[in-house]
Structure 1
Amino acid sequence: MPPAGPTARSDFRHGLPSFASHNPDLGRRTAPRRGTAHDGGVTASRTGKVSIVGVGSVGTAIAYACLIRGSAGALALYDTNTQKVRAEVLDLNHGSQFVPHCPVSGSDDIGVTAGSAIVIVTAGAKQDPGQSRLELAATNVAMAQALTPQLLEQSPSAVVIFVTNPVDIVTYAAAQSVDAPPGHIFGSGTVLDSSRFRYLIAQRADLAVGNVHGFIVGEHGDSEISLWSSVSIGGVPADEFRIDGSQVFGEQVRSEISADVVNAAYEIIAGKGATNLAIGLSTARIIEAVLGDQHRVLPVSTVQRGAYQISDVSLSLPTVVSAAGAGQVLEIPLSVSELLGLQASAATLNENWAALRAT
């Protein structure tokens, strides 16, 4: 999606009619139905309209993941690129025979998002050669501040979830731009990072990922923190897990895994240009927690209100996600080094926000 700073704001207000055939019920919550998506052997109800803003590689991956998992009752795609959004809508609908029923509409008119239960925002500028991260953040923050009020005009009760990077800064800016109910605006945070963490642990343990529990917290970025002290592998703490009597997760292995989690995105981007498939699946999982009112604990990015003595900054902590959005933050016991690292991550984000305001 083209950069959407203040100069592009009118693109979010005006456009052409939706490309999908007219469906008068598409903008309303549909009747509850049983979905076919499974997570840990549990099937949950999926209902409600989900809109995705931005149909680049991430937005389309989220839409595709929602379709194959049966995550939503209806999907709406919004992008200022007329030809691209039409093509993606057609491509997704052409596979409708093979997935749970889920109408897909799309438009370059923001009205296509009206009546959404959830709005996912992936739109934003990509980093140009020679452009600093701070400059990129300024562009995407301006987009979020302009776009969020317009999305809530279309869907006043929607839960708005940001995936656009830098997600913590963008989420904070969006939350400050509107007077939304608590928890109705949050970011995808470190849900994907935590999945990478669990995968790498499972590889070393030679077990399925579902047997591993653990979180990455803090910034979705270089200052994020691996919570090794609370990692559980089949119910066994990481520091006690052994194979043939030998400790698996010593200090060096822990450091390697933590570094691999931080560097994972860089490696993928170097090889294929973008990360999209795993973030598509992880975002679909967040959507299911909201639409299914699952009260699922996920490390999403929210504006903190005192957990671990951290306030007025958006970062990821284990959070109860339900139909009300992002709710209670769970304060998992931390080691001293983990707590100091988390607070340092918060300080880094605060410094970045202060630098943005000074530009």
Structure 2
Amino acid sequence: MGSKTRKVAIVGVGHVGASCAYSLINQSICDEIILIGRTPHRAYAQALDLSHCMDFTYTRTKIFAGSCADCSDADIVVLCAGSYPKPGSSRLDMTDSAFEIYQTFIPSLMSCGFDGTIIAAANPVDVVTYMVWKLSGLPRERVIGTGTSIDSSRLKTLLSEYLPVDPRSVHGYVLGEHGESQFAAWSHVTIGGKPIMDILAQHPQRFSQLNLDDIELKTRNAGWEILQHKGSTHYGIANAIAHIVRSILNDDFNITAVSAVLDGEYGERGVCAGVPAILTRKGIAELVELNLTPPERARFANSCQVIRSAGASLPL
């Protein structure tokens, strides 16, 4: 009986990359993981440490330190290499440093014969997703950013605490930039299938403490709050990456908010932004174009312009 090894490479072995590998191992998502880092001995040490999980997991995942040459037959390459924003700056301020990393790495990756799907998790993720798409020459459905997947999860978690319900019973999306111009598409947020606007209208006293503007602000600032207190965010985004990887490898047809190359969807082109997408073995099978309200459409257009302006100076 023939078999196909499910192989994932992770570029960047810091907090996010290592946590991503840990999530993939514990959820038994793939058969092999390659860790690629600027410092080979650190990548080796991370792989060695993670290999010691195997006695306590359901399946054995082979993990080792490698290079671009090991990615020729990889199904997915996850880009985690990057830096964290400094106090007083934003994710968009890291555009130039991200370009310095990936303008060299992506051509090297493609020259090794890689023909799979790339998942960008490095910030500013929407700009990085677009630059990787341009540098790689891959079709747009096979270059995906984590985008607003983590922000949508944060939104659901916050709402679940007020309602209260399980976060998985909350459905809705944060759209646009994974950054300051993001917004919650309240017109499409439902709780157990019931629109949240209907719930608030029918139970004004019961949910009087639920302020949607406050929830949206807390969602947008959640990453900064974590960064301020412990210096990095990695567990949440690692599980978001693992979810996207699993959806692709399992051909799940799962709908997740990711950063995608837009080509007319929502009236936008030449930019990557967070939108719901159907994830399959081919990458993005289809972008789900929500029927946004006029104010939401205006906010989405503004967010796309913010992203577009941040990457306008890059030589792509």
| Same fold (TM > 0.5) | yes
Equivalent residue for 2:124, pick from 154, 163, 166 = 166
Distance in 2, matches of 1:222 and 1:159, equals 27
The correspondence for 1:179, drawn from 128, 132, 137, is 137
**8 A Cα contact 2:91 2:123, kept in partner:** no
Q: Would you say how many aligned residue pairs link Structure 1 and Structure 2? A: 314
Q: CA deviation at 1:335?
A: 1.3
Deviation at 1:248, TM superposition (A): 5.8
8 Å CA contact 2:92, 2:124 repeated in 1: no
Task: After superposition, give the CA deviation of every residue in 1:177-216 in whole Å (9 maximum; x if it has no partner).
Answer: 1321231112111111100011111111111111110000
Question: For the Cα contact (< 8 Å) 2:253–2:279, is it kept in 1?
Answer: yes
In structure 2, the CA distance between the partners of 1:134 and 1:95, relative to structure 1 (3 Å rule), is: closer
Match of 2:248 in 1: 290
Partners of 2:161 and 2:292 in 1: CA distance = 24
The counterpart of 1:281, out of the listed 239, 254, 260, is: 239
Query: What's 1:220 paired with?
Result: 178
Is 1:103–2:62 an aligned residue pair? Answer: yes
Secondary structure of the structure 2 residue equivalent to 1:299: strand
Change in CA separation of 1:250 and 1:222 when aligned onto 2, cut-off 3 Å: farther
What amino acid sits opposite 1:122 in the alignment? Answer: C
Question: Which AA in structure 2 matches 1:103?
Answer: K
Cα drift, residue 249 of structure 1: 5.9
Q: State the distance in 1 between where 2:315 and 2:71 align.
A: 30
SS of corresponding position for 2:18 = helix
CA contact (8 A) 2:277 2:288 kept: yes
Does residue 138 in structure 1 map to residue 96 in structure 2? yes
Compute the displacement of 1:244 (Å).
9.8
Q: Secondary structure at the match of 1:290?
A: helix
Alpha-carbon contact 1:241-1:247 (below 8 Å) kept:
no
Instruction: Give the secondary-structure state (helix, strand or coil) at the position aligned to 1:189.
Output: coil
1:63 and 1:237 mapped to 2: Cα distance? 36
Letter in 1 for 2:3: A
| CA–CA separation in structure 1 for the residues paired with 2:12 and 2:274 | 23
The question of whether the paired residues in 2 share the 8 Å contact of 1:120 and 1:161 is answered with yes
1:280 partner letter? A
Which of 169, 187, 190 does residue 211 from structure 1 map onto?
169
Matched with 1:75 is 33
Partner of 1:89 in structure 2? 47
Q: Find the partner of 2:107 among 149, 167, 190.
A: 149
* Deviations 1:266-304 (CA, angstroms, capped at 9, x unpaired): 000011100000001110000001100111111111110
Alpha-carbon distance in structure 2 between the residues aligned to 1:298 and 1:92: 28
CA distances 1:158-185 after superposition (whole Å, capped 9, x unpaired): 1011101000111111111132123111
Find the counterpart in structure 2 of residue 303 from structure 1. Answer: 261
Distance 1:133 1:226, change over 3 A: closer
Q: What is the CA RMSD across the aligned residues, in angstroms?
A: 2.3
> Given the alignment of the two structures, is residue 31 of structure 1 paired with residue 31 of structure 2, yes or no?
no
Distance 1:328 1:301 in 2: 13
Report percent identity of matched pairs. Answer: 29
Q: Structure 2: how far apart are the matches of 1:286 and 1:248? A: 36
Unpaired runs of at least 5, structure 2? none
Deviates more, 1:134-143 or 1:249-258: 249-258
Q: Give the superposition deviation at 1:113.
A: 2.9
- Alignment gaps of 5+ in structure 1: 1-29, 33-46
Whichever residue aligns with residue 230 of structure 1, its letter is H
Q: Which residue number corresponds to residue 80 of structure 2?
A: 122
Q: 1:230-309 residue pairs with structure 2 within 5 A?
A: 230-241=188-199, 245-246=203-204, 253-309=211-267
3-state SS of 2:260 partner = strand
Distance 1:248 1:323 in 2: 44
Assess, with a 3 A threshold, how the Cα gap between structure 1 residues 346 and 135 changes in structure 2: closer, same or farther.
closer
Q: Report if aligned partners of 1:225, 1:341 keep a CA contact under 8 Å in 2.
A: yes
What is the CA deviation profile of residues 217-245 of structure 1, one whole-angstrom value per residue up to 9, with x for unaligned ones?
10010101101111110121101226994
Is the Cα–Cα contact under 8 Å of residues 238 and 249 in structure 1 kept in the other structure? no
Q: SS at 2:158's partner residue?
A: helix
Residue deviations 1:51-83 (CA, integer Å, cap 9, x gap): 100000000010000011111121111112122
